[in-house]
Chain A
């Protein structure tokens, strides 16, 4: 035994070192929370035209209506999949907001969509682009710039929502985040791809996000006209719902009359929340239930 250790000390030591470092890298990537910045308390709506301050509208099982916000949720069956379509009309872009998990911008900081929605008094909410899973990609939320590092390669399409309520899909390597802020961007999301461009489908039947499966639960947002949005969340990975391909998802947006549509994080992250209830059936394929995510997009005061 002594002879074995004497002759193999390098192999043993290096194996321990390599295993330890690998474990650290995995924990650093997937587990260890890293807070980078707390959410600014500066309210970007201070100088806005928004007049509403409270949620005092009329709720039904699948709609909400007040003088500033109108939301109607319909459920359809498309391609063996349960699809939830929210038609949202706003009087001001200030009622379309975003929030971070635990109100902290950082990596591996997560919370369920429903918890974030309730914490912010949302009327309606969906999961966002899960920015916290990446170290690159523009992050501008509620008019504040949190990350200006662009993604590399061809998958660098970002969705920009401007203060007039319009959408634009830009390439992160063609424009800086600071320039977008100067141009009036209030929200910038970094996931993609762009599903519709000028009313035409922008993906093909083989398109997919990175190495994901082709049929998945999905979350996406589209625009019919400034301040008139369509949000779609679909189920998937269950016996009841097969899931949608990006092409099928884009086709639904086109049918709804959208000009531009953009894909958010899907799979187990896909969650639609309305008036205190989860609308869809979130699952990662192995178990039902919400996944903790890093951010949400919500409608509220």
Chain B
């Protein structure tokens, strides 16, 4: 063999192998960047930041369930039955309002069929800066439309070994893909109950003085609600937005009380809800007043995360328009909420 033959052989081999890898990745497309899964294709839904974008690009749907880990236990089959839609679930654990808003806006832009968006609004995020993102290394090459940076996807050892290969093997063995009901769903292996919730909670040594919402914080709330919640609804008046404040456990409210932030949090939520009520296509559901759920720690695995049964209950409530906050009943709702959480006997939690 000559050096010339070796040189040409190396270049040819490398080119051929890389081309095969690209073609296989594009064929099984575990992140749905190029196409929806083909008939009989196996795929595993298990990586939110990598797969949600592709799901909104290529799956067929006319409704979206989205939000933080508060939405991971939703079942799209239940949503479809309740509302007569064909829904997808795209949760983003630990996400900021901006991350979720941008995802919803992009999905709507890509899919003109969307008619319903169900989204949770984690109440502590009302006080976070509007442009805050919680993570740093997002796979932007999947989110944009630049084909050149797709090389990060097509020639990626972690993806090829961890996702393409299993998809190929699963397809040959006719393994069923993950359903949206199962996607990110941790209900079956979580441990619920008072003992678990309180074991994970460390009480402070003293109760801080209650603080009201400052002027600067008011501006923050207005900023984030405008940019990250209502703007997409305003831009899409034909789409219904079912936004809900999730039923955090009473221990969460205790933690706010302990830090002196209870009043601040309630004021922030009031401001946010008032802003949302200005839009006829936004339906605000607040499960803060579902006191029965909130005070029963058997529903929770920690201070905020509730079981799949509660997710099911939330869907049914939304269908029946229970816990709906409207312009007509909002004052009554605010009064009821403030009265309950400010005057609650928090010590009774620890008895």
Tell whether A pairs with B. no
